[in-house]
Structure 1
Amino acid sequence: MPALSGHPTTPTPIDRRRWAQYLVDERAEAAVYEQLARRRSGEERAILLSLAEAEGRHESHWLQLLGGEPEKLPSASIRTRLLGWMAGRFGSVFVLALAQNAEARSPYDGEPAATAAMRADEKIHHEVVRGLAAKGRRRLSGTFRAAVFGANDGLVSNFALVLGIGAAGVSPHIVLLTGIAGLLAGALSMGAGEFVSVRSQRELLESTEPSGFADAGLVDLDIDANELALVYRARGMDEAAALERARSVIEDAHGGSLPVRARHGEAHEVVGGAWRAALSSFLFFASGAIIPVLPWLLGLSGIAAIVVALVLVGIALMLTGATVGLLSGGSPLRRGLRQLGIGFGAAAVTYLLGLLFGVSTA
């Protein structure tokens, strides 16, 4: 084992308690990676098992410092236990995103009893988990973008709408009708807009991919003077490489083989499906837009309805922001507060405008 530096020859009780905490956390993290590996196959499974093995090496380090298994061990940290609970039930990108955040906060940077190799391991683990999580993020990105954007837009726009109308002094019935109308109009608009956006993007990608339009004429091209090389030059090859590629394709065509064309599957995966994105956008906008209307649906009015709406929308904004932060590998609290500030800022503007242009309730 590498020589340790900076820690006392005779550890204090505080040192031993800290090392015991490291020990149980390393065991729990290894168990998380093993649970995730059971839900994976192939290369991802092998990588996760290698991470668990590395955590096992760290566990051995603390066992050696403690002189064997302590009689009494502390509980694993709440963060690690939460990871273990989620890994056993979900095994999804959310767990990997949480694990990425956990690996980014290594406790060993300021720990004199940890080796330099252990500190380096933790940094590498962060990048490894980041790479594994990136695959799941790519699969989610198209639909997830539409869902988060739809829910947040529904929350903010309808909250601002009902606050502005409510501040104008109209009856609760009018506020409720306005909120429902805003929900339906916004959800339909978001769903239609998302469908057009995603479908257009997919069509644009498809138009840039190689096609088989000219395949039938390949056998008639002159192998020494042909136009096929221009196709490859137009795709970015230099002249020599384009000529070589064209000659190879024509020779294969004379032999009865047509070129195999790669599809931009990853790009299409990131964009997502048009109908799926549209449905997600519609449903999530509606689910967000209904929240500000709930107090009026429950029969509240005036300041009481506005206060309840503020609380409900504030919770929802924090949750959507935290979800984005979690999946992006950022701070859930920071992203949640950002969403809260943006949403309440927009609502405050419309509320002030409603007060400014208020009507009489008489």
Structure 2
Amino acid sequence: MSVPAAPTARDRRRWARYLVNERAEARVYRELAVRRTGEERDILIALAEAEGRHEAHWLNLLGGEPARLARTGVGTLLLVWMARRFGSIFVLALAQNAEGRSPYDDEPFATPAMAADEKIHHEVVRGLAARGRRRLSGTFRAAVFGANDGLVSNLALVMGIGATGVSSQFVLFSGIAGLLAGALSMGAGEFVSVRSQRELLAATEPNGFADAALPHLDIDANELALVYRTRGMPESEALDRARRIVESAHAHGSPSTYTGSIRTADSHEVVGGAWGAALSSFLFFASGAIIPVLPWIFGLTGLAAIVLALVLVGIALLSTGAVVGLLSGASPLTRALRQLAIGFGAAAVTYVLGLAFGVTMG
């Protein structure tokens, strides 16, 4: 990469902009570090210090603090504000996207080490964000996706029914019926799914069926080792563990040590309760499905009700799409627009079908 012999005024303005952004990014990481402890805090402080080294590079090129500095970008200011008040997974997800847009690859005055730093920062922040995503409960993800299902399905329903030309009371009744039917279906499906998973886990988890036989096993030729081998343990390690357990059972005359060694932790807590999952799915779906019906609930009719329903659902779809984008590490704007297109596309199909049926019946 060739470096121009003499920097221009435009170069200096660009350096000043880099300086401002590096300072702001360092501030984001320091604000996040305040809300973290242990290893995560140390990682965030190290990122802030790296941004400080980049800041020093631009200060050196500028010959000291400029008399006037460019304003910090709106996106970076938003990150600082969110980091100071929330310090959440969403800030890290946005920071990950910001690190992925580093301009230093094409910047002749940036060192190769600085460009490499930015790429590594992207991976580091991605790792921190991934930790946060793993800590998010399944209930939160279910809230986003359940509400989105309710939004799209009930919007499509009321648009299709409304396009046939029926009365506003019939549209309202159809929307409420769609809300209840969809929410009950989601709740029942989630109940069956979780209950079935718990039953499957119960059937596959180790139990105490063979505990009483332990003291009678042959230490040198016992089949307890086969149990461990079925779980993927190497033969030599399985034999060693089986010998120790049987020796202990012989010594104590009871299988007490066996129970602690052969059983695994109850994984039902990971799956969650069937009733809780069912209720959550019902409420999340209903919270989304009620939005398209609101105009008719408050007495609007005709085109005014349809337009307001589209506006309300559009805002909600953009919000859920942006959240999905943040959770997946993708662009929130892209996911928001995709969610909006899918929801409005489904509504457009049912609206056209409703118009066709309305003309035919008419």
TM-score for both structures, normalised by structure 2: 0.89
User: CA offsets, 1:290-338, max 9 Å, x none?
Assistant: 1111221232212222222222222221221121112211122221222
Do the aligned residues in 2 keep the contact of 1:146 with 1:278 (CA within 8 Å)?
no
Amino acid at match of 1:179: G
Amino acid at match of 1:14: R
SS of 2:218's equivalent in the other structure is coil
Q: Say which of 127, 130, 133 aligns to 1:134.
A: 130
Say if 2:288 is the partner of 1:301: no
Give the RMSD, CA atoms, in angstroms: 2.6
Aligned to 2:149: 153
Matching of residues 78-157 of structure 1 within 5 Å = 78-140=74-136, 142-157=138-153
What CA distance in whole angstroms lies between the structure 1 residues aligned with 2:43 and 2:310? 45
Do the aligned residues in 2 keep the contact of 1:151 with 1:287 (CA within 8 Å)?
yes
Task: Check 1:210–1:52 CA distance in 2 against 1; reply closer, same or farther (3 A cut).
Answer: farther
Q: Say which of 62, 66, 71 aligns to 2:58.
A: 62
Task: Check 1:132–1:219 CA distance in 2 against 1; reply closer, same or farther (3 A cut).
Answer: farther
Task: Check 1:253–1:52 CA distance in 2 against 1; reply closer, same or farther (3 A cut).
Answer: farther
Say if 2:343 is the partner of 1:343: yes
What CA distance in whole angstroms lies between the structure 2 residues aligned with 1:175 and 1:148? 26
Q: Is the deviation greater in 223-232 or in 178-187?
A: 178-187
Aligned to 1:186: 182
Do the aligned residues in 2 keep the contact of 1:202 with 1:268 (CA within 8 Å)?
no
Task: Check 1:189–1:300 CA distance in 2 against 1; reply closer, same or farther (3 A cut).
Answer: same
User: CA offsets, 1:42-101, max 9 Å, x none?
Assistant: 111111111111111111111111112222222221111111111111111111111111
Aligned to 2:288: 288
What CA distance in whole angstroms lies between the structure 1 residues aligned with 2:201 and 2:33? 34
Task: Check 1:215–1:18 CA distance in 2 against 1; reply closer, same or farther (3 A cut).
Answer: farther
Task: Check 1:249–1:337 CA distance in 2 against 1; reply closer, same or farther (3 A cut).
Answer: same
Offset of residue 207 of structure 1: 4.7
Amino acid at match of 1:168: T
Aligned to 1:358: 358
Aligned to 1:21: 17
Amino acid at match of 2:326: L
Aligned length: 356
Offset of residue 220 of structure 1: 3.7
What CA distance in whole angstroms lies between the structure 1 residues aligned with 2:148 and 2:70? 41
What CA distance in whole angstroms lies between the structure 2 residues aligned with 1:126 and 1:264? 37
Amino acid at match of 1:15: D
Structure 2 stretches lacking a partner, 5+ long: none
SS of 1:223's equivalent in the other structure is coil
Matching of residues 22-37 of structure 1 within 5 Å = 22-37=18-33
TM-score for both structures, normalised by structure 1: 0.89
Offset of residue 138 of structure 1: 1.7
Offset of residue 231 of structure 1: 0.5
Task: Check 1:109–1:249 CA distance in 2 against 1; reply closer, same or farther (3 A cut).
Answer: farther
Task: Check 1:234–1:9 CA distance in 2 against 1; reply closer, same or farther (3 A cut).
Answer: same
Aligned to 1:197: 193
SS of 2:232's equivalent in the other structure is coil
Offset of residue 212 of structure 1: 5.3
Offset of residue 29 of structure 1: 1.0
Task: Check 1:31–1:203 CA distance in 2 against 1; reply closer, same or farther (3 A cut).
Answer: farther
Task: Check 1:342–1:215 CA distance in 2 against 1; reply closer, same or farther (3 A cut).
Answer: same
Offset of residue 144 of structure 1: 3.0
Identical amino acids, percent of aligned pairs: 74
Structure 1 stretches lacking a partner, 5+ long: none
What CA distance in whole angstroms lies between the structure 2 residues aligned with 1:54 and 1:310? 46
Task: Check 1:57–1:196 CA distance in 2 against 1; reply closer, same or farther (3 A cut).
Answer: farther
Amino acid at match of 1:250: V
Aligned to 1:76: 72
Q: Say which of 25, 40, 48 aligns to 2:44.
A: 48
Displaced runs of 4+ in structure 1, greater than 3 A?
198-220, 248-265, 271-280, 359-362
Aligned to 2:34: 38
Amino acid at match of 1:319: S
What CA distance in whole angstroms lies between the structure 2 residues aligned with 1:47 and 1:208? 40
SS of 1:87's equivalent in the other structure is helix
Q: Is the deviation greater in 349-358 or in 56-65?
A: 349-358
Task: Check 1:96–1:196 CA distance in 2 against 1; reply closer, same or farther (3 A cut).
Answer: farther
Q: Say which of 217, 220, 238 aligns to 1:221.
A: 217
Amino acid at match of 1:25: N
Q: Is the deviation greater in 102-111 or in 272-281?
A: 272-281
What CA distance in whole angstroms lies between the structure 1 residues aligned with 2:30 and 2:353? 56
What CA distance in whole angstroms lies between the structure 1 residues aligned with 2:30 and 2:23? 11
